[in-house]
Amino acid sequence: MSWPSLFALAVALAMDAFAVALATGLTLSPLARRQVFRLSFHFGFFQAAMPVLGWGAGVAVHGYIESVDHWVAFGLLGFVGGKMLWEALHHEEGADERTAKDPTRGWALVLLSIATSIDALAVGLSLAMVGTPIAVPALVIGLVAAFLTAVGMLIGRRIGAAWGRRVEVLGGLVLIAIGVRILFEHLRA
């Protein structure tokens, strides 16, 4: 996988985390450095761990589906990207209602970390299907997610969530484009 593709994938996967971080930045006043660190660390860690888990599952079944692996990768990335688009475009008002609780602590933090990284699990499975080693992609995905989470919290604190859903639309479109590129490369070869 090329560096530009890997970076685009990492940014696309981080869009959910970025959107959650924007909303979280709005709810926390004042915003403390430890809160930014906690959310960024956990989102980055889970974003890095989930592709590794998905990749492990993909390696286990790859021999059985090798002849259609590019279609599996395309389908998974298309599904994940489509899901991101659907959720961004069909977002219910009131779904991001603010609570007085600190979402950077306890079970709320763990659940948000899992929820924002589920897509990375499918991506890891896709990477296994196309024979891409996972160490570097997982590291890049985790670092980009951690960075964009911190940036999202800081932006959320300053300008609000006026464009939070738009970044999820962009993330979904990027995932679909990567899936199409994988399919095109394998069909062309």
Structural domain span for residue 159: 3-93+102-188
pLDDT attached to residue 167: 65
To the nearest whole percent, how much of the chain has pLDDT over 70? 84
C-alpha distance from residue 103 to each of 81, 176, 185 (Å): 26, 30, 42
- Give the range among 76-90, 104-118, 122-136 with minimum mean pLDDT: 76-90
To the nearest whole percent, how much of the chain has pLDDT over 90? 32
What tens digit of pLDDT does each residue of 1-13 get? 889 999 999 999 9
pLDDT attached to residue 145: 97
Under 8 Å between Cβ of 80 and 175: yes
Please name the residues in contact with 189: beta carbons below 8 A apart, sequence gap of 6 or more.
none
What tens digit of pLDDT does each residue of 140-165 get? 999 999 999 999 999 887 765 456 56
Domain count, the chain: 1
The closest of 11, 41, 45 to 117, measured between CA atoms, is 45
Kindly state the tokens that stand for 28: 């926390």
What tens digit of pLDDT does each residue of 15-72 get? 888 988 887 887 777 889 999 999 999 999 999 999 999 999 888 876 777 677 778 7
Please name the residues in contact with 35: beta carbons below 8 A apart, sequence gap of 6 or more.
28, 102, 104, 153
* pTM (whole model) above 0.75: no
Q: What angle do CA 147, 145, 104 make, to 5 degrees?
A: 85
Domain CATH code at residue 81:
1.20.1250
pLDDT of residue 95 exceeding 60, the answer is: no
Under 8 Å between Cβ of 59 and 125: no
Give one word for 94, left, alpha or beta, with left for phi > 0 and alpha for psi -120 to 50. left
Task: Summarize the confidence of residues 85-89 as an average pLDDT.
Answer: 79
